[in-house]
Amino acid sequence: MKNSFLLQLERRRSVYYLGNCVTLPKHYISDLVDRAIKLSPSAFNSQSTRVVVLFGNHHCKLWALVKHELSKVQTSDALDISLSKIDACFASGFGTVLFFEDIEVINQLQQSYPDDSDSMESWSEQANGMAQLSVWAALAAENIGASIQHYNPIIDQGVAQEWNIPSTWKMIAQLPFGTIEKCPEAKSIISDEERCIIYE
C-alpha cells in the first residue's frame, strides 16, 4: 500500500542513540513542533496540550536535572546504568520537547460537561498521545530521530522551577531528538489477525 501518511508512520521509530548535528534551523524545528500539535485532534477541541522545546544549554540542563533526581532514588548499580543510557541516548541529542496537559482547561471542561466529567482526564491524555505522535512523525519526516521518555514525576518540580512552567501544566512525557547515530533494530509485530477484526 503506497499511502504517504503510512510511509511516514513507518519511518517513526524509537531512536535511542542520538547526535546533535541537526542542520535544520531551530526556528524551523520549533515551527514544525507547533504546527504538528496545532493540527492534532482533541476532545471538544479543548486544545489542552502544551509543549516546551529545549535546545542547547537548556536541553543539557534538563538531562542533568534528570540524572540528579535519579541519583536520589536509584541504587548505585541501577544509577550507573541509567546515567550511561541518558548520556548516550538522550543528553547527546539536539533538543527535547516536553509535553504537558493544561489541567485548568480540563477542569473547565469538567464543569461545562458534567456528564462527561469522569472521562475528561483520559480524553486529554489521549489527545496528548496523538500530539506526541504527530510531533514524532513530523521529526521523522525530516530524518530526525526521537523517542518518548517518562522521567516524570520526579523531575516535575525541578523543571517547573527552571523554566517557569505554569502551575496548571501537568507534565506527561519528554521527547529527546537529534541525528540518528544508530538505526533501530527490526521490531516484532503481532499478526494482522490478532490486531484487527473485520466484518464485511
Q: Quick: pLDDT tens for 131-187.
A: 999 999 999 999 999 999 999 999 999 999 999 999 999 999 999 999 999 988 888
Mean pLDDT estimate for the chain: 96
pLDDT at 1: 66
Query: Could you give the percent of the chain with pLDDT greater than 70?
Result: 100
Cis amide linkage into residue 114, ω under 30° from 0: no
* CATH T-level topology, domain 13-195: NADH Oxidase (3.40.109)
Single-letter amino acid, residue 140: A
pTM, two decimals, is 0.95
Q: Which residue has the higher pLDDT, 10 or 93?
A: 93
pLDDT at 2: 83
Return the closest-CA partner of residue 94 out of 29, 21, 150, 173: 21
* pLDDT, tens only, 178-198: 999 998 888 899 999 999 999
